[in-house]
């Protein structure tokens, strides 16, 4: 190939890259939705078949699991993990990312460094809302008696 033919192909690649990126991005999202649907469908079919077999045999129905319809990628929450603690974690992450972006752009004398304050504001909002949502802990907590479940924090 000569340099003229390569130079003529550059505008074509410049147009193709965003098109391919958009199609691939949408395709990956659609594939994830389809695979999640298929997993849920097969899981529901398996539980339905199990329950129908139990009904036919006269066996007591097993309870359905709590995380039956949970989205893909969502791990079951730990006992100590609450939505407020998740919000607190994401707030800290956003706050630190925003500070890093702001300091980096300010250090490079980029006049739009204040755009880094957007994730800082979102992080602070998450932190404040998580602290407002979390009830205050009891100062004089008693230990649970034998057989009692300790209170969730």
Which of the two residues, 126 and 61, has the higher pLDDT score? 126
Query: Residue 71 and residue 86: Cα distance in Å, rounded?
Result: 17
Tell me how crowded residue 120 is: count the other CB atoms within 10 A of its CB: 19
Percentage with pLDDT > 70 across the chain: 76
Which of the two residues, 73 and 42, has the higher pLDDT score? 42
pLDDT tens figures, 85-128 = 888 888 899 999 999 999 999 999 988 888 989 999 999 998 99
pLDDT for 94: 92
- Mean pLDDT of all residues in 47-73: 79
- Mean pLDDT of all residues in 40-55: 89
Query: Residue 119 and residue 126: Cα distance in Å, rounded?
Result: 10
Query: Residue 83 and residue 65: Cα distance in Å, rounded?
Result: 20
Note the pTM of the prediction, 2 decimals: 0.42
């Amino acid at each position: 190939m000569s340099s003229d033919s390569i130079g003529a192909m550059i505008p074509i690649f410049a147009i193709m890259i965003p098109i391919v990126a958009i199609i691939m991005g949408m395709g990956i999202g659609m594939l994830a939705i389809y695979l999640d649907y298929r997993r849920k469908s097969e899981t529901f079919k398996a539980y339905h078949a199990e329950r129908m077999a139990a009904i036919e045999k006269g066996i007591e129905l097993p309870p359905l699991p709590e995380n039956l319809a949970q989205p893909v990628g969502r791990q079951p929450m730990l006992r100590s993990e609450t939505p407020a603690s998740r919000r607190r974690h994401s707030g800290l992450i956003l706050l630190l990312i925003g500070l890093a972006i702001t300091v980096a752009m300010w250090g490079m004398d980029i006049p739009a460094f204040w755009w880094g304050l957007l994730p800082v504001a979102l992080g602070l909002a998450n932190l404040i809302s998580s602290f407002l949502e979390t009830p205050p802990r009891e100062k004089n907590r008693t230990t649970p008696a034998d057989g009692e479940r300790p209170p969730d924090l």
